[in-house]
Amino acid sequence: MINFLTRYSSLILAVSVVFIQGCGESEQTASKGIMPVVVAPALQKELTITKEIIGQTRAYDNVELVARVQGFLTNRLFKEGQMVKKGDLLFEIEKDQYDADLQTAQAALLKAQALRDNAEIEYNRNKGLVEKNAVSKREYDFANAQYLQAKAAVMSAEAAVKKAQINLNYTSILAPFDGQIGVAYVSVGNLVGTNDTKLATILSVDPMRVQFNIGELDILKFEQKENPSFEETSKYVNVSIYFQNGTKYGQPGKLYFSDNRINPSTGTIMVEALFPNKAKELIPGFYVKVLLESNFTTPGIVIPQSAIMEGQAGSSVYVVGSDSTVSMKMVKTGVSKAPYIQINDGLKEGDLVVTEGLQNLAAGVKVSYTYDLAYAADSTRADPLKPSADSQRAQNKR
């Protein structure tokens, strides 16, 4: 045991000395108050205007089919969920009563026409005779009144025939447009036509509407100053959507409608875009992410969005000076496109802004910083959002 202690005592002593020295160096570094941060240079760039909003798909047309005449449902001629064409026969209501009504009305019309024709003959006869003073004026007036009443009776009979024909037509319920029909609410054999009985719903799903609300300030960013109308602005905005799982829908859309006023309680306006949907990938009621992107660019100073701090006084950033001292600067932000945001006022090209390590910083603190050489390389590229092939991390401690 004594030999063991003698053999390893020197080693234990050496390790203890190294540990004590290491602790001393760490305390010395901490006492200097130098904090490590990550920085990025402010760049002069042109950015497209983008905005992401949650939207919901809506059918282009939505009609609830109802029975407009009363009777027993005799036939259903579709499979629930199938696609139908405009004019397709979907339901039939018993026709016997309405067919009989039509025949009765047609017979009444024939009778009224016969009476009218006879009254016309009598009128013309009395008209000739009254001119020769062969009949009294009173007899002529009576013939004229009978003729006018007969003509009115024909018009009434014609209207009755038209109404009977309409009711008979209502026994055949047709698809009002191309679309997809849903579940049938009523089975064959049920009495329909009472209390506006709903039979089924048909939706037009190609194209598909996507509805969303956009803020007033965002609208102004996209507007063309020379012509701020919605129709003109929509020409300069590309629209795409993403499903909830992050997959991008394969067809681009276009803006086609905006409401006529701003909602005063939310400060937003309802806007709709149209998307082709031939493959029926879009289903009404889907929640999607809408991406609006201008097809024009705006020049300015850009920095990573992660550098922005929001407070009661507005937006601010930490800037590292030439002596590695941090200062806070208030900035005015402009358009953004992840991961960048445009700075309209407060920074100049080349300023180093802190993007990581913001939590424990304060103005006047000394820092050691690292930055990504890709940020500097961005100044030679057209698109600052596309990663550089030779992007690497480099350290510069001061």
Decide if 21 is inside a domain: no
The answer to whether residues 226 and 283 belong to one domain is yes
**DSSP letters of 129-148?**
HHHTTSS-HHHHHHHHHHHH
**Domain range for residue 148?**
96-170
Decide if 305 is inside a domain: yes
Which ranges constitute the DSSP H helices of 137-248? Answer: 137-170, 216-222, 230-234
The two tokens of residue 118 are: 């006879």
As to burial, measured by CB atoms within 10 angstroms (0-12 exposed, 13-18 middle, 19+ buried), residue 270 is: middle
Residue 209's pLDDT is: 96
Residue 230's pLDDT is: 81
Residue 47's pLDDT is: 81
Q: Which of 263, 282, 297 is where one domain is finished?
A: 297
Decide if 2 is inside a domain: no
Series of mean pLDDT values for 10-residue runs along the chain (398 residues): 41 36 41 81 86 94 94 95 94 96 97 95 87 85 93 96 96 95 94 87 95 87 71 86 94 91 90 94 94 85 92 94 94 83 92 91 92 58 37 38
Which has the closest alpha carbon to 202: 170, 185, 178? 178
The Cα–Cα gap between 262 and 274 comes to: 21
The Cα–Cα gap between 235 and 226 comes to: 13
Q: Which of 152, 170, 188 is where one domain is finished?
A: 170
Residue 242's alpha-carbon distances to 6, 131, 277, 287, in angstroms, are 73, 87, 14, 9
Decide if 275 is inside a domain: yes
The answer to whether residues 222 and 163 belong to one domain is no
Decide if 389 is inside a domain: yes
Residue 343's DSSP bridge partners are 301, 333
Residue 19's pLDDT is: 35
Decide if 27 is inside a domain: no
363 φ, ψ (degrees, to nearest 5): -60, 135
CATH code of 380's domain: 2.40.420.20
CATH code of 146's domain: 1.10.287.470
Residue 159's alpha-carbon distances to 54, 95, 111, in angstroms, are 53, 20, 14
The two tokens of residue 368 are: 């050691």
The answer to whether residues 310 and 386 belong to one domain is yes
Residue 345's pLDDT is: 92
Residue 319's DSSP bridge partners are 327, 353
The answer to whether residues 327 and 243 belong to one domain is no
The two tokens of residue 252 are: 């681009």
pTM for the predicted model, two decimal places: 0.65
β strands within the chain, DSSP E: 35-41, 43-66, 71-76, 83-84, 89-93, 172-174, 179-181, 191-192, 198-215, 237-242, 254-258, 268-275, 287-304, 309-311, 314-320, 326-337, 340-345, 352-356, 367-372, 393-396
Decide if 256 is inside a domain: yes
The answer to whether residues 189 and 77 belong to one domain is yes
The Cα–Cα gap between 98 and 206 comes to: 36
Asked if 49 and 335 count as a contact pair (C-beta separation under 8 A), the reply is yes
Residue 373's pLDDT is: 62
The answer to whether residues 179 and 89 belong to one domain is yes
346 φ, ψ (degrees, to nearest 5): 120, -20
Asked if 391 and 375 count as a contact pair (C-beta separation under 8 A), the reply is no
The Cα–Cα gap between 305 and 349 comes to: 16
Q: Which amino acid is at 22?
A: G
Residue 64's alpha-carbon distances to 67, 77, 175, in angstroms, are 10, 17, 11
The answer to whether residues 310 and 343 belong to one domain is yes
The answer to whether residues 357 and 245 belong to one domain is no
The answer to whether residues 152 and 177 belong to one domain is no
The answer to whether residues 215 and 144 belong to one domain is no
Decide if 29 is inside a domain: no
The answer to whether residues 107 and 124 belong to one domain is yes
CA dihedral defined by 356, 217, 301, 376, rounded to 10 degrees? 40
The answer to whether residues 114 and 87 belong to one domain is no
Asked if 161 and 111 count as a contact pair (C-beta separation under 8 A), the reply is no
Residue 261's alpha-carbon distances to 218, 264, 265, 267, in angstroms, are 15, 9, 12, 10
Task: Report how many domains make up the chain.
Answer: 4
The two tokens of residue 388 are: 């550089």
Strands 309-311 and 314-320: antiparallel
Asked if 332 and 323 count as a contact pair (C-beta separation under 8 A), the reply is no
CATH code of 191's domain: 2.40.50.100
